[in-house]
Amino acid sequence: MKAAVITFPGSNCDRDLAVAFERAGAEVVKVWHKDSDLPTGTDIVGIPGGFSFGDYLRCGAIAAQSPVAASVKAFAEKGGYVIGICNGFQVLTETGLLPGALLRNATLKYVCKALDLKVATADSAYTAGWTKGQTIRIPIAHHDGNYTIDEDGLNRLKGDDRIAFTYVENPNGATADIAGVLSANRRVLGMMPHPERMAEAAHGGSDGSVLFRSLMDAMALS
């Protein structure tokens, strides 16, 4: 499996994401945001966490205008797999690949801690390694993680089983405790928590590694 990890000025989780993909067995190619083409044979695009373009305008808004963003959008629209973590999730909502928006945390504070999540669906390449309703521990680190969506949008997400993860204790005011959502074709995942930061014993937990392994398994079958 070839994973393309995008880097913007201000990204800071690109290396961690690359390592998590590699430990799961993927080949990783780093892609600078000015590269307009994804590497030939890309199976999945990873948009990492960080502070792209200093979080100016809105988190992810400038990154969503980068040359590479158009290729990522075209890749996703053709059915490609894309995962956006934290700032990557913000970029995905700004490109329109995922619905909703990430607003400032209700507390107006940056929150950095490990917390419990519920796996809201096991029906995706990313979450198939867990069972629905399982509690897992993954860290968050953000000031704009307050996932917000209108009632119609929320009903669509619920009706289509597209909520991937919810918080056990909501740290940021997110609508319906949502921590991660899937696209309509279930191949684009955006999540505020950082699975790559809890992916091996030395991180203090390895729940995050399940996501990368599930992905590898799903791709081996497809």
- Residues engaged in binding ligand GLN (CB under 6 A): 49-51, 55, 59, 86-87, 141-145
Catalytic annotation on 77? no
What is the spatial distance between Cα 93 and Cα 81, in angstroms, rounded to a whole number?
Answer: 15
Catalytic annotation on 27? no
Shortest distance (Å) from residue 64 CB to ligand GLN: 14
Catalytic residue among 59, 86, 142, 203: 86
Tell me which DSSP letter residue 71 carries: H
Closer CB to ligand GLN, residue 94 or residue 144? 144
Determine the 3-state secondary structure of 50 from DSSP. strand
Shortest distance (Å) from residue 59 CB to ligand GLN: 5
Encoding tokens for residue 156? Answer: 């669509």
What is the spatial distance between Cα 47 and Cα 147, in angstroms, rounded to a whole number?
Answer: 18
| Residue from 80, 1, 75, 81 nearest 35 by CA | 75
Shortest distance (Å) from residue 49 CB to ligand GLN: 3
Catalytic residue among 13, 33, 143, 196: 196
HSE-CB for 141 with a 13 A CA cutoff: 15
Q: Whose CB is nearest to ligand GLN?
A: 49
Closer CB to ligand GLN, residue 192 or residue 216? 192
Please enumerate in sequence order all residues whose Cβ is within 8 A of that of 9, keeping only pairs 6 or more positions apart, or say none. 33, 52, 53
In single-letter form, the type of residue at position 195 comes to P
Shortest distance (Å) from residue 105 CB to ligand GLN: 8
Closer CB to ligand GLN, residue 142 or residue 203? 142
Catalytic annotation on 196? yes
Residue 215 near residue 204 (C-beta atoms within 8 A): no
| Residue from 158, 144, 133, 141 nearest 198 by CA | 141
Closer CB to ligand GLN, residue 145 or residue 195? 145
Q: What are the φ and ψ backbone dihedral angles of 198, each rounded to 5 degrees?
A: -140, 65
Shortest distance (Å) from residue 92 CB to ligand GLN: 12
Active site amino acids: 86, 194, 196
